[in-house]
């Protein structure tokens, strides 16, 4: 009697086209199981309210660990009289306890335990979410809490107005207003005004780049560093895919992309989905964004603060991020660049315990810490 060999388990590589197999093969080996478990990608703009409610439910299911961190919410008026809300995260017993502006710029203040009684650097942290969602629950911003504790720093999150109800320039003007507010109240908040940084992921990275431009052009508060993590800063991303879709009657454009990105696109962010976010963020009828909407459109990048640009290998925004980093370098701006191989946009949300995700977070945090706590002779 013959014995049939045991059939190997089915994986994401089986039952697929050659292009799909090549695309999946680009995923980092440590991330493959997380990739295989991803749900089908859904367009949040089909029902933006439902997408926001689903995001809030996901956040509520995983409360943040606030150990060692306090936070306080503030409201202040916009030009139209409506209120902008920010949340200020501080190390317990640290910033805001009278340090004010007495600290010398650039001095490493970590020698004082938790910064107690001393001014701390500040990070304006702008959340991601395609300019349309992504706002944390009150007191629950995981990224802000981690930065506050690990740097340490005063971290200010901004509840900027969201698209499509509030299109550009509402969101970025809110972020710039928050920067001005933080600088003006530096003494009260325990902030060293000479050490203010901007940071954000995805749309938050795009907003950080735009606010840096605005501060330069408007003679605004000094910024010591801009941290751009997988930044969404170019409205032209996805234009080629959109053109392909039109030429194909709107069908199969993703699957036909030359590099196989479309084979990944049923599960991850693609250029077409990025383009959808810009369609909802920019004013109706906009043919080309201006520089404060899409920083990649800026003609002059000189005089901007030193930057950190992190991209992911399988992210449709990778090339735009790398091009922006190169242009910053060419303009004389100090830039540190890091690419995460085999990773897609937002992979760390689905594989937070992997070495790849932890190394990415450590590098991002380390670069921000080095900018805020420079080594001086």
Residue 181: other Cβ atoms inside 10 A? 18
Does residue 37 have an active-site annotation? no
Catalytic residue among 28, 141, 192, 202: 202
Rounded to a whole number of angstroms, the distance between the first and last alpha carbons of the chain is 80
* Residues present in the chain in total: 377
Three-state DSSP state, 326: helix
* Cβ 40 vs Cβ 267: under 8 Å: yes
Q: Which SS3 state, helix, strand or coil, does residue 189 take?
A: helix
Tokens of 62: 């995983």
Catalytic residue list contains 202: yes
* Residue 295: closest CA among 157, 139, 176: 176
Q: Measured between alpha carbons, how far is 360 from 144 in angstroms, rounded to an integer?
A: 16
135 by DSSP, 3-state: which? coil
Q: Does residue 300 have an active-site annotation?
A: no
Q: Which residues are catalytic?
A: 202, 315, 345
């Amino acid at each position: 009697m013959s014995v049939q060999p045991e059939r190997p388990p089915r994986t994401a590589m089986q039952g697929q086209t050659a292009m799909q197999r090549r695309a999946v093969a680009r995923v980092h080996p440590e991330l493959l199981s997380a990739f295989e478990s991803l749900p089908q990608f859904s367009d949040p703009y089909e029902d933006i309210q439902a997408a926001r409610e689903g995001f809030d439910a996901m956040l509520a299911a995983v409360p943040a660990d606030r150990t060692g961190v306090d936070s306080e919410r503030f409201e202040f008026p916009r030009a139209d009289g409506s209120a902008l809300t920010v949340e200020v995260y501080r190390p317990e017993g640290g910033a805001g306890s009278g340090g004010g502006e007495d600290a010398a710029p650039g001095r490493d203040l970590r020698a004082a335990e938790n910064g107690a009684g001393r001014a701390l650097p500040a990070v304006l942290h702008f959340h991601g979410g395609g300019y349309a969602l992504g706002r944390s629950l009150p007191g629950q911003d995981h990224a802000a809490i981690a930065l506050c504790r690990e740097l340490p720093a005063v971290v200010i999150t901004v509840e900027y107005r969201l698209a499509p109800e509030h299109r550009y320039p509402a969101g970025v003007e809110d972020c710039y207003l928050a920067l001005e507010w933080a600088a003006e109240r530096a003494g009260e908040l325990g902030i060293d005004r000479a050490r203010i940084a901007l940071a954000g992921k995805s749309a938050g990275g795009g907003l950080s780049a735009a606010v840096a431009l605005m501060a330069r052009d408007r003679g605004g508060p000094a910024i010591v560093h801009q941290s751009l993590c997988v930044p969404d800063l170019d409205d032209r991303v996805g234009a080629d895919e959109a053109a392909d879709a039109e030429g194909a009657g709107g069908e199969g454009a993703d699957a036909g992309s030359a590099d196989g990105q479309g084979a990944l696109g049923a599960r991850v962010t693609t250029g077409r989905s990025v383009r959808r976010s810009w369609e909802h963020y920019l004013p109706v009828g906009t043919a080309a964004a201006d520089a404060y909407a899409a920083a990649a459109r800026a003609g002059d990048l000189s005089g901007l603060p030193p930057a950190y640009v992190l991209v992911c290998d399988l992210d449709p925004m990778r090339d735009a991020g790398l091009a922006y980093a190169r242009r910053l370098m060419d303009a004389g701006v100090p830039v540190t660049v890091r690419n995460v191989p085999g990773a897609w946009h937002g992979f760390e949300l689905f594989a937070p315990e992997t070495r790849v995700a932890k190394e990415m977070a450590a590098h991002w945090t380390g670069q921000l810490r080095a900018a805020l706590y420079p080594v001086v002779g």
